[in-house]
Amino acid sequence: MFFRSRVLQSEERQKQTNQTGKTEHSWKPADIFGEMKTSVLWIDGDHAYQFVQLMNPGPSVFFEFPGSEQKVRARVTEIDEAQKELTMSVAESEGTDRAERLKPYVRSDIFPARLFALEELGMSGPQAVPTIIAMLDDPSFGAEADGLIIALVKAGGESVGEELNSRLRRELAFWKTAGPNLTPGWWNQDLNSGTPLRGRYSQTYELIVALESTRYSPARKTAIELRDLWRSLPQLNDSSGLNQMAEECDKLISQLGSQ
């Protein structure tokens, strides 16, 4: 019952024209991973059923949907309206106005709508940069920081190098304070991906990756400081995966040093 972000783009609509010139519509999964099972609800009387993956990894099993048929229909209507609004937002606006119209959907509880809004923000050009920066500065958009950083560099290109480096220096200051106080294995102490420390790690990492495409040379110094800090603390340079931060710094340092 959920649309995919690509469904909103006319060139991706699932249509075919037969030999008679008539347009044919074929059923395609709405699930962003292309799974038909997770795209369908079965309604039997007052009960609705769906396939749910109760454990990951694990198979999807037939399970009763926790909601009435009326709630399902109301949700479908809500999603349909969001799809129409997003389509109009990108078709009838540009620059700053386009970014402002996409902004509310960056925090939408409709996952494909969030993905679409972030993707289209990145395609909105330099005029969208102030709106994206404002969202990054707003704690209520904290959960979407990674996607907003990607959108920022896509929209602004090399012109946002200074902004990205400034943010990376803030992250460096944070890890200088927090890093020495962390205990080994801190990453797995809370498996919730939305925890603040995990969010900071992810945001810091995304800033480094974004800077790789801006060629902003002052970021080399920041990357060296962050890499050296990271490798000086075993609880940060954990070989289970956290050491990827220092490795990504090495990539940025090498890239900027070759300019």
Give pLDDT, residue 115: 93
Q: What is the pLDDT of residues 157-190, one digit of tens each?
A: 999 999 999 999 999 999 999 999 999 989 888 6
DSSP secondary structure of 204-243: HHHHHHHHTTTT-TTHHHHHHHHHHHHHH-TTTS-TTTTT
Q: With contact defined as beta carbons under 8 Å apart, do 37 and 51 qualify? A: yes
In angstroms, the CA 67 to CA 125 distance is 41
Tens digit of pLDDT for each residue in 193-206? 567 899 999 999 99
Q: What is the mean pLDDT of residues 33-38?
A: 68
How confident is the model over 75-91, as pLDDT tens digits? 888 888 988 889 888 88
Q: Which pLDDT does position 24 carry in this prediction?
A: 55
Burial letters 135-172, b for 16+ CB under 10 A, else e: bbeeeebeebbbbbbbbbbbbbeeebbebbbebbbebb
- String of DSSP letters for 6-60: GGGSGGGS-EEE-TTS-EEE-----STT--SGGG--EEETTEEEEEEE-SSSS-E
Q: How far is CA 187 from the centre of its chain?
A: 21
Classify residue 124 by its DSSP letter. Answer: S
Q: How far apart are the C-alpha atoms of 233 and 59, rounded to whole Å?
A: 40
CA distance 208 to 248: 7
Whether 207 shows a pLDDT value over 80: the answer reads yes
pLDDT at 29: 66
User: Would you put residue 23 in left (φ > 0), alpha (ψ -120 to 50) or beta?
Assistant: beta
Query: What pTM, to 2 d.p., does this model score?
Result: 0.78
